[in-house]
Amino acid sequence: MGKFVVKQTKTGIKFDLKAGNGEVIATSEVYNTESACMNGIASVKTNCAANVEDQTVENFEQQKHPKYEVYTDKAGEFRFRLKARNGEVIAVSEGYKAKPSCLNGIESVKKNAPDAEIVKE
């Protein structure tokens, strides 16, 4: 079962969503307050069943928010970002060498986030 790991950084507080095997699936921005971080986690739980917008293909079909956006970064790796209903980015992935791995990451968020416990480090 997945878990949200909340931790302090030098500039604030953030969370990582980790799968049952301990791998980080998605990461948040750095928040100023723990309360804002908890709201971010709640937003991921609420919005994680969203559709996928694959921006790596020509003439991709735009999806309504909330949605996952799959894109390629400057290094040519595949990444996803989860956007909330208001269009704010609430979680981002690491870079993946292959698109199927990136899509598996999205499926892992969908599976793990709704029931994930919250752990503070």
pLDDT digits over 28-59, tens only? 999 999 999 999 999 999 999 999 999 999 99
What is the reported pLDDT for 112?
96
What is the reported pLDDT for 1?
86
Helix (H, G, I), strand (E, B) or coil at 53: strand
d(CA 52, CA 32): 29
> Would you state the CATH architecture of domain 3-120?
Roll (2.30)
Do residues 120 and 37 lie in contact, with contact meaning Cβ atoms separated by under 8 Å? Answer: no
Angle in degrees, CA 10, 25, 62, rounded to 5: 105
Query: For a pLDDT cut of 70, what percent of the chain falls above it?
Result: 100
Average pLDDT, the chain: 97
Do residues 6 and 15 lie in contact, with contact meaning Cβ atoms separated by under 8 Å? Answer: yes
pLDDT digits over 84-102, tens only? 999 999 999 999 999 999 9
Per-residue tokens: 80: 């996803």
Angle in degrees, CA 109, 43, 116, rounded to 5: 45
Question: What's the pLDDT band for 70 if we cut at 50, 70, 90?
Answer: very high
Instruction: Tell me the domain boundaries of the chain.
Output: 3-120
